[in-house]
Amino acid sequence: MTENTLKTLGEYADRLADNMWKVEQRITNGELSFEKAATEVQEAKNSDEPSYITEGFTDFEEGYDNYPTLIYDGPFSDHILEKNPEMLKSASAVTLSDALKKAEKACGTVGLSHDDKNDEQGKMPSYVFTKDSTTIAVTKNGGYLSYMLCGRSVPTRSVTALEAVA
């Protein structure tokens, strides 16, 4: 990222902050209100005319064409979320019975229940099992533990925060 890009981003941020202050002032002065907005939205549903609310945001948005962007490349960035899991590509299908055994072993309990409607589809299709406050998902290919949630109360602390980090 160049110094010029950072400078331009800073200028856009300053302008955005200034515009937000102007919107806040209009709300404070009574020019904009939630009541007016609700009425305007209801009227706009039956009209082809743009409302003063959306008009303001359109003007607001048009002032930010061609601004530089930062590319986030962390664990939740779009390109990571769009990837297909490599470990599932060549993994064999797992039966419901085998997935149940893996789930019970992973959470150390028996008697988990399964309902097809709770199964995960998406990028990592999974069987989802539940019992009380425990939910556990096992991938339909490979039989990998996808996630496990166990809501429980912890009556007393057995380690300090510092010990937990160590």
Torsion sign across C-alpha atoms 84, 88, 92, 95 = negative
CA distance 110 to 103: 9
Q: How far apart are CA 141 and CA 125, in angstroms?
A: 8
Provide the pLDDT for residue 141: 97
Summarised one tens digit per residue, pLDDT across range 109-143 is: 999 999 999 999 989 999 999 999 999 999 999 99
Whether residue 124 contacts residue 139, with contact meaning beta carbons closer than 8 Å, is answered with yes
**Structural domain spans, the chain:** 3-62, 92-150
Residue 115's pLDDT is 96
Question: What is the rounded average pLDDT of the residues 57-78?
Answer: 67
Count the neighbouring beta carbons within 10 Å of the beta carbon of residue 124.
Answer: 18
